[in-house]
Amino acid sequence: MHLFKGKIVKYGITHKIRGMAQDDQFKKLVSHCKEYGFIFQSSEIYDGLSATYDYGPYGVELKNNIKQYWWKSMVQMHENIVGLDAAIFMHPSTWKASGHVDAFNDPMLDNKDSKKRYRADQLLEGYMEKLELKINKEVKKAKKRFGDAFNEEEFRSTNPRVLANAEKHETVRVELATAMTNGDMEALGALIEKYEIKCEISGTANWTEVRQFNLMFSTQLGNIAGSESKLYLRPETAQGIFVNFLNVQKSTRQKLPFGIAQIGKAFRNEIVARQFIFRMREFEQMEMQFFIKPGTQKEWYEYWKTKRLDWHKALGTSPDKLRYHDHDNLAHYADAAVDIEFEFPFGFRELEGIHSRTDFDLTEHQKLSGKKMQYFDPVTQESYVPYVVETSIGCDRMFLAMMGNALQEETVPDAKGNDSTRTVLKLHPALAPVKCAVLPLVKNKEVLTDKAKEVYNKLTASFNCQYDEKDAIGRRYRRQDAIGTPYCVTVDFESLDDNMVTIRERDSLKQERVPIDKVRGIVLEGIDMGSLF
Ligand code: ATP
């Protein structure tokens, strides 16, 4: 996250170091989202509902643009990937077949003193993160001490304190992975005891035993009584794709390999839901299941791993904010899995998952439904259940990543040439909620506002525009900077005579006088999503 970090000079603008702690950066980001109408707490007038959020006027635009970027690159730019919009409710057998009824659990425990609930695996991961922090602190100290002569690699492989912590880290990692893979709740409890992990509220280690907690929300179907009526809110969109695999394949006459993509809501009763929109109970996924010939899964897994990382980098996200993380313990359906992690203000966390799901889902649906889920291969003249490689990204996490990446505070020269601070959201123009703001220089001159409205009306059919006449022009620029508008067009008295306006570019602050007829083309070129592919 480069929010408020570093000191770079670009286009003659000084980006100031604010030296903000990561916690403060995050708080600033959350309050910016609220103040500028990106995200509100759900049901705020009733003190909110935990881990649920509403997207405001600018939030919904940004989210739609993220979805459009994904849809274009995954569906419209692949002739062998098609879209789907399946229902949220599905036949309850779906979740039995997929394994979610029996195995979609997280290990949960409570602290008896604070009554606070935790996920056992996250407590142990937190412990590992602390060990990592200790190592990094040691390295930082040595770097300072030795200056240019410092050899980090050598230090990491020889310093006894670093080595001891690295060894401990590896031991915990293996112990955690083993316990999780075996679904061994007792072992998890024993690890928490062994490493003397304490509750952050009460400071005690007075824990309940660790038990499995199913993450699916359930509800009742209206007209049927008893257990038959139990419905689940889907915890992933993928199953809607699996059960429609043959419908889609036959109706679109696709041949393997081909993919089905979907964007939609998913619901999980997360035990610990915090960190704003990073972990919610109702969220949105963008998933693609790629159906392939058995035996080719390794090659397609590698393909999608690279392709998806490139998708993130194309937005200008610095490569050192992104990394792969191989799964230590695989889900019940996978033979390989990797996360693309992003450096959020609270550390590197999963943004997207790429999973080689084998033929697990289709085979299980075939067994439980009694319907064949096989593909007839016209080349080999054989029928078989395809293998699947999945790419799955949370739309909300992508939103958070983009906002965190974009929010900056910098020192810029004001109208008189003095230093002034501006908060600017440097979103990629293709993602920006408002593409162009049209501003009359002053508001109380009707000739000017009429002219500005004329310009505005010419542009609204082409992209999202905003007309604003309130406050001084400088303040209006600042407000557009804060919501990430890449272009501002100012209409002044000269515009009445020469039909020219001033177009100001958000990042460079460059101002140029252009004919009104050229504005549409300039903005369209600057916001073109095509430049990302
Ligand atoms: P985590 O380990 O963080 O709980 P996961 O491995 O369970 O995530 P997947 O099942 O792989 O997540 O889901 C695919 C994507 O959906 C994730 O990469 C993430 O971006 C998003 N996602 C999952 N759970 C949530 C949630 N509770 N809130 C927001 N996004 C989520």
Q: How does pLDDT run across 162-195, given as a tens digit for each residue?
A: 999 999 999 999 999 999 988 899 999 999 999 9
Q: Is the CB of 189 under 6 A from ligand 1?
A: no
Q: Which of 279, 284, 304 to mutate to test ligand 1, by most ligand atoms within 8 A of the CB atom?
A: 279
* Helix, strand, coil percent values for the chain (each to nearest 5): 40, 25, 30
The residue-averaged pLDDT of 492-514 equals: 96
Query: Per residue in 148-161, is it b (16+ CB within 10 Å) or e — as a string?
Result: eeeeeeeeeeebee
Mean pLDDT lowest among 10-14, 158-162, 328-332, 354-358: 10-14
Ligand 1 centroid from CA 426, angstroms:
26
What's the CA gap between 269 and 286, in Å, rounded? Answer: 19
Q: Is the CB of 455 under 6 A from ligand 1?
A: no
Q: Is the CB of 466 under 6 A from ligand 1?
A: no
Closest CA to 492 of 436, 442, 450, 438: 442
| pLDDT at residue 4 greater than cutoff 50 | no
What was the pLDDT predicted at 20?
61
Q: Is the CB of 338 under 6 A from ligand 1?
A: no
pLDDT digits (tens, 9 = 90+) for 259-271: 999 999 999 999 8
What does pTM read for this prediction?
0.88
pLDDT bracket for residue 329 (50, 70, 90)? confident
Task: Tokens 């509100």: give the residue.
Answer: 40
As a whole number of Å, the end-to-end CA separation of the chain is 23
Mean pLDDT lowest among 140-154, 213-227, 488-502: 213-227
Ligand 1 centroid from CA 371, angstroms:
30
The CATH number of 51-103+215-406, from 3.30.930.10, 3.30.70.360, 3.20.20.140, 3.40.50.10140, is: 3.30.930.10
Q: Is the CB of 394 under 6 A from ligand 1?
A: yes
| pLDDT at residue 16 greater than cutoff 50 | no
User: Whose Cα sits closest to atom 11 in ligand 1?
Assistant: 353
Q: Is 44 helix (H, G, I), strand (E, B) or coil?
A: helix
Q: How is the chain split into domains, by residue range?
A: 51-103+215-406, 105-210, 428-532
User: Whose Cα sits closest to atom 2 in ligand 1?
Assistant: 350
H helices present in 183-266, as ranges: 185-194, 238-243, 245-252
Q: Which of 108, 271, 285 to mutate to test ligand 1, by most ligand atoms within 8 A of the CB atom?
A: 285
Q: What percent of the chain has pLDDT over 90?
A: 84
Ligand 1 centroid from CA 327, angstroms:
13
The ligand 1 atom at the shortest distance from the C-alpha of residue 268 is 27
Q: What is the DSSP string of 469-523?
A: -SS-HHHHHHHHHHHT-SEEEEE-HHHHHH-EEEEEETTT--EEEEEHHHHHHHH
Ligand 1 centroid from CA 394, angstroms:
6
Mean pLDDT lowest among 233-247, 252-266, 435-449, 496-510: 435-449
| pLDDT at residue 228 greater than cutoff 70 | no
| pLDDT at residue 384 greater than cutoff 80 | yes
The residue-averaged pLDDT of 450-475 equals: 95
288 vs 20, more confident: 288
- In this structure, whether the domain defined by 428-532 belongs to CATH 3.40.50.2020 is answered with no
Task: Tokens 């007792």: give the residue.
Answer: 186
What was the pLDDT predicted at 428?
96
pLDDT bracket for residue 320 (50, 70, 90)? very high
Ligand 1 centroid from CA 286, angstroms:
11
Which CATH number applies to 105-210?
3.30.40.230
CB 387 within 8 A of CB 381: no
What was the pLDDT predicted at 445?
82
The residue-averaged pLDDT of 21-40 equals: 92
The residue-averaged pLDDT of 311-318 equals: 94
What was the pLDDT predicted at 225?
65
Q: Which of 352, 397, 399, 402 to mutate to test ligand 1, by most ligand atoms within 8 A of the CB atom?
A: 397
pLDDT digits (tens, 9 = 90+) for 39-80: 999 999 999 999 999 999 999 999 999 999 999 999 999 999
What was the pLDDT predicted at 12?
34
